[in-house]
Amino acid sequence: ESMLAERARPRRLDPMELAAKGADAGARALPALAGVWPAGGALGGEGRLVQASVPLSVSGFTARTVAELTEALGPVGLVPMQAGGGRRLTPGKLEAGHVEPGSAIGVELVRGDMSMVGTGTVTYIDGATVLAFGHPMFGIGESYLPLVDAEIHAFLPSLAQSFKMSSPLHEIGVLVQDRQTCIIGNLDGRTTMMPVDVRVTGPEGKTRAFHAEVARNRRLTPMLASMVVANAVADAEPDVTDMVASVAGKLTLHGRAPLELDDQIFSAEGISGRLLGGTHGLRALAELMFNPFEPVVVDRVDVDVRIELKRDVADIVGLALPTETVRAGDTVPVRVTLRPFAGAEYVETVRVKIPRAAAGRAVHLEAASGAMARPDVPPAESLGDYIENMRKYYSAASIVVSVQTPDEGAALRGRLIPDLPASALDTLRPGNGTRRADAYRVAERTVFPSKRLITGRQELNVAVVDDVLGHNR
């Protein structure tokens, strides 16, 4: 009765409109993952009932990636299980699958060279409407994900929690509702997924290509894309050892210029999905999904990864100047001490200009890895500004020396205005309006390229004088 009542719930987008408009409509209609439901663990000593978990049939994923998936998806009640295989892709085509009460049906999250499908049972069919599961998938309400029929290979009975092993067969429609009592699908509709293409070049120079498509959902898409990329790397280069990965990500945005971001990362245990999720390209994917301005459709993601089996990393362990004081307006040699792995410490000298306005005061010097330093960018006033800010970053293979002064600048309407006198700042921050200039501390930055990845940071304060004799005016 509760499942049947869900058919009357109004929707933001009619399934037939979704089927007619195709890719763009499906992408724009995707809601946020507004909440998750707690997973009921195995039946323990308390002897209590637990909410049914959804078996997530996965294939093409390494054991390490499956373990990461288990950790990531366990809180929402999905239990990854190795399956027999994926399915042949027939983009945009609805196929004649087998759907009847009691048959297996699945919600597809990943397809292609890798497959990930949440599988359950059909309960009821009324024309093109199908009710299934008898419990939620995620419990996120109106959602648009591909529906597939499935083949059950075997049952794994257990008093604590039983599972089915299955594989997807054909795309048969679209999920339209994911509610606490059931999922609802439309067998006449369809939706799109986001293509993710990964090319991995190993130490020997050989490149392997992987293609997958992932579900379009604000919370799911970044995680699934990271897992696909990490799995491609683990499949191509499975060694759990010291690795330096150069990652070039390209996000093709609908109606906008592509966003291309490069990164370099190091790991002593191989490259994980969590580590890749922190790279500029995949982090930008998550930030775009949650941007505060307007919906963004990412047409596709392309990632090129070059793997080198080495530990070419140095940590910043010291920062020094030749004297205890410096002159305003001078360019001074800042000595940055670096400690590489299994090597002797060495010094890189970075020439940094001391601002004239700092005369008679102290300035704060910081030397940091480019991965830890953040460029000065004004608060975004539009989606265009937001995307442009993402393009500004420093390479992890660089030392960024910052000179921070007590002076204030202002960030106003998407622009930075440095070195402003107090009277100008007061004018830009009137008390009779909300559109004020935001203050920021001015910092001179010098970027010094390195031949290896840099980690860590060091900082010190130094007094600034304004004449040769060292006397302040």
pLDDT digits (tens, 9 = 90+) for 20-32: 343 334 333 333 3
pLDDT over threshold 70, residue 414: no
Mean pLDDT, residues 179-199 taken together: 93
* Residue 24, pLDDT score: 39
Give the pLDDT confidence score for residue 417 in this predicted structure.
54
Short-list 437, 388, 61, CA closest to 214: 61
Per-residue pLDDT tens digits for 55-110 = 888 889 988 888 888 888 777 778 888 776 666 666 555 566 789 999 999 999 99
pLDDT confidence of 131, banded at 50, 70, 90?
very high
| Phi (first) and psi of residue 19, to 5 degrees | -65, -40
Predicted pLDDT at 128? 92
| pLDDT of 96 | 65
Of 42-51, 306-315, 431-440, highest mean pLDDT? 306-315
pLDDT at 271: 81
Highest mean pLDDT range out of 54-58, 342-346, 418-422? 342-346
pLDDT of 64: 85
Looking at per-residue pLDDT, the higher value among 249 and 166 belongs to 249
- Is the pTM here over 0.85, yes or no? no
Q: Give percent of the chain above pLDDT 90.
A: 50
